[in-house]
Amino acid sequence: MHFDGSPDRLPTQASRFTRLRQMLTRPELAFLMEAHSGLSARIAEEAGFEGIWASGLSMSAMLGVRDNNELSWTQVLDMLEYMSDATSLPILVDGDTGYGNFNNFRRFVQKLCERGIAGVCIEDKIFPKTNSFLGEN
């Protein structure tokens, strides 16, 4: 309950999943704001965005490492947990190349669901990945 007596209206995990699916399938554009921390996620929500893009590039940069899988999937999960706790918006995660293999990615997705993360996308590239802004060699 809030201090004014009104009930808490925090969305359930399922509603985050459903809201992201609706944004991705509707005919109108949906605007997601990049976030890389709990604070930036909260700012995106306060600014009126419908969802959050959790960028691998930004999360890597925030911790001072290169965007080529130097962050482990558990480090990414830790940051996402803070983001999920700080906002009610659905979060779409940059899953890079899936962290090496099917088993790693399956476990990553399970842990994302436990934290209320609405979705993840992966790139069709080799592991370890290179930044998408760099030309292929």
List active site positions.
67
Burial grade of 108 (CB within 10 A; 0-12, 13-18, 19 or more)? buried
Burial grade of 18 (CB within 10 A; 0-12, 13-18, 19 or more)? middle
Residue type, 54: A
